[in-house]
A and B are shown apart, each in its own frame.
Chain A
Amino acid sequence: EAGVTQFPSHSVIEKGQTVTLRCDPISGHDNLYWYRRVMGKEIKFLLHFVKESKQDESGMPNNRFLAERTGGTYSTLKVQPAELEDSGVYFCASSRAQGLKQFFGPGTRLTVL
């Protein structure tokens, strides 16, 4: 069974540009989560999809962040326009049922210059 995959693995952009991160969850996993880790800090929850619906988006920092999961399969997280403080590693996770066992992808390292 393939794990959670994320693309790209790294992205370096300038302040004000737009970046779109993609996450492909494990096949059959209805639950998809986005998390972010800013340098040296804790991994912070951003939002949770159940299929194509946003179950909880309480962790989204502001309206420059837009997450979608059309069709309930892969998800994208767009940052527009990017700011310096958006730099960090963005993790995606998925789970078959709500609750404990969340499987994480390798993350996308975003650097905003």
Chain B
Amino acid sequence: DQQVKQNSPSLSVQEGRISILNCDYTNSMFDYFLWYKKYPAEGPTFLISISSIKDKNEDGRFTVFLNKSAKHLSLHIVPSQPGDSAVYFCAAISYNTDKLIFGTGTRLQVFP
């Protein structure tokens, strides 16, 4: 039973516009949510995280929003750049387990 879900396998966005990647979760006990970015033939790279007690975290062009009542988070990238083209994984973690629970990923393509 998947606890973290990314229902959109792919997303295509024009350069300069906003990219919005979505993630849903089922376990209300998660303490932190993270986004990882993955290029082909490389491992996932940490991008941004948010504590379960926050509703927004911003880092440059990347902002993560958390809606706990809906068990939903989203990653906004603005403006999108061609170098952002990658697979984005949503992940969650609980302090008492220390293991990342990942979604299936969303492939983002930013075209000129």
Contact = CB atoms under 8 A, between A and B. Distances in A.
Given A56-B97, A99-B95, A106 B42 contact: yes
Interface string A4-33: 100001000000000000000000000101
Given A40-B104, A42-B104, A99 B98 contact: yes
A42 B98 CA distance: 17
Contacts of B103: 42
Interface residues of A, number: 28
A42 B2 contact: yes
A100 interface: yes
B99 A48 contact: yes
13 contacts: A9-B41, A40-B104, A42-B105, A43-B102, A45-B99, A55-B98, A56-B98, A99-B95, A100-B32, A100-B34, A101-B46, A106-B41, A106-B43
Given A33-B100, A93-B43, A99-B93, 15 more contacts: A9-B41, A35-B102, A41-B104, A42-B2, A43-B89, A45-B101, A55-B98, A56-B98, A58-B99, A91-B44, A98-B98, A100-B46, A104-B43, A106-B43, A107-B42
